[in-house]
Each structure stands twice: as structure tokens, then as C-alpha cells.
Amino acid sequence: MSKLRFNIAMSLDGFVAGPDQSSENPLGVGGEHLHEWLVPLAIFREAHGGEGGEVNASTQVVEEWFDNVGAFVMGRNMFGGGPGPWGDEPWEGWWGDDPPFHVPVFVLTHHEREPLEKDGGTTFYFVTDGIESALDQARQAASGKDVSIGGGASVVQQFVAAGLVDEFELSVVPRLLGRGERLLDNLGDADLELEQIRAIEAPGVTHLKYRMVR
């Protein structure tokens, strides 16, 4: 059965981005440290057109991010381009002509826009009528495969608070950011019971995987 899941890097004090995020600094001050374990990996470099790199216990985790995923959902901030209307020369994402998704991606936004087709099978669709509509469209596009939430924290929070997430993995980095965007805030009165699936220790990070108990 198709699952809704997400994976995200998080500081030890619960932040997934630092303070003062901007289009020039999308992860905020200090946020780049959350991915220091990821960037040296061979699988990451290959996905971004590079060569070489490391293979370690995190490699399996990153491989699984894309396994059996038929569509992604993400927020406007994750897609980028700043708030407000798209303008005459709209932003086309952080990832160039061949984004690493290779499946349909549904971007939550308040501003309508025609679909944006990229190389490699990625097409961005812009959804203006909320998370449930985005999930319905993503599941239809995924044809029975899983749907992955690409971020950021606000979108994850909305799906978690609505009880729609089935499984998630936190890549916890031994850093204290102190300020920024905290992942597990704004969940309202959501009554969540989690079951740990696994814990994987790797250089510079610990991967903790959970499923939601219904």
C-alpha cells in the first residue's frame, strides 16, 4: 500500500534550518552544517553531476530516500523563489535543468502557475488548494508507489498534524543551532504514537526511522 513519508536532517536541538533564511541563504545561518555528512557521499555527488565520494552507513539511507517513490510534495519555500506572485520570469527551482527527483513534484503555493517540465522525468505542478489536494494528486501520479514530502518544516508539520504521515526518518546531526525553524512545532493537539523501526549510526549523523501507529 502507498505510504506518505519524509526524511529530513535535524540538529540535536530540533531545528531543520537556521535563522535568517533567504533566497541567498535558504538553510539559514548555520543550516548548512546539517548536511555536512551528506555532501561527501558518492551517491549525493552522482545525483548532482559529480564524481567520486564516500560510501558508508549513510549510503543505504540515502538510497532509500528515492526507493519506491512515485511523487513528491513540497512547500513553496523548499522550491524557492521567495514569497508572493511568481512574476514575469518565475523561479525554476534550485536544481537546474535535471532535478534529482525524476518523478512528478507537487508544490504547495498560494499563487497559480502552469506546470514546469524539466529533464529526466521531473515536472513541477503548483497546487493552490491545500495539502489534501496535493496528496491526492501526488498519489494519483505515483500509481501505487509512495509519496515523499520534500520539505520544508511547515509542510511536514501540516501533514503530521493532519495524521496523514505513515513513516519518517530523522537524520540527527550533533549540532546545536539554538534558533531557526524547528521541525516538530505547531502540531496542535495531534496525539501521535510512534514505533521506532531502526537506528543507524554513521559518520557525523544518526538516522532514526519511525512509523506512525494508527
For the stretch 61-86, pLDDT in tens is 999 999 999 999 999 989 988 888 99
Spatial distance between the Cα atoms of 179 and 211, rounded to a whole number of angstroms: 27
DSSP 199: E
Spatial distance between the Cα atoms of 76 and 34, rounded to a whole number of angstroms: 21
Spatial distance between the Cα atoms of 62 and 14, rounded to a whole number of angstroms: 20
Is residue 213 packed enough to be buried (19+ CB in 10 Å), middle (13-18) or exposed (0-12)? exposed
3 state SS of 206: strand
Spatial distance between the Cα atoms of 73 and 112, rounded to a whole number of angstroms: 16
**Is the overall model pTM greater than 0.75, yes or no?**
yes
How confident is the model at residue 82, as a pLDDT?
Answer: 83
Angstrom distances, CA of residue 207 to CA of 3, 42, 78, 200, 211: 19, 18, 22, 5, 14
Assess contact for 73 and 5: CB atoms under 8 A.
no
How confident is the model at residue 50, as a pLDDT?
Answer: 87
Under-50 pLDDT residues of the chain: none
Angstrom distances, CA of residue 198 to CA of 69, 160, 168: 20, 20, 11
3 state SS of 109: coil
Write out pLDDT tens, residues 27-61: 889 999 999 999 999 999 988 888 999 999 999 99
How confident is the model at residue 192, as a pLDDT?
Answer: 87
How confident is the model at residue 13, as a pLDDT?
Answer: 97
Assess contact for 42 and 53: CB atoms under 8 A.
yes
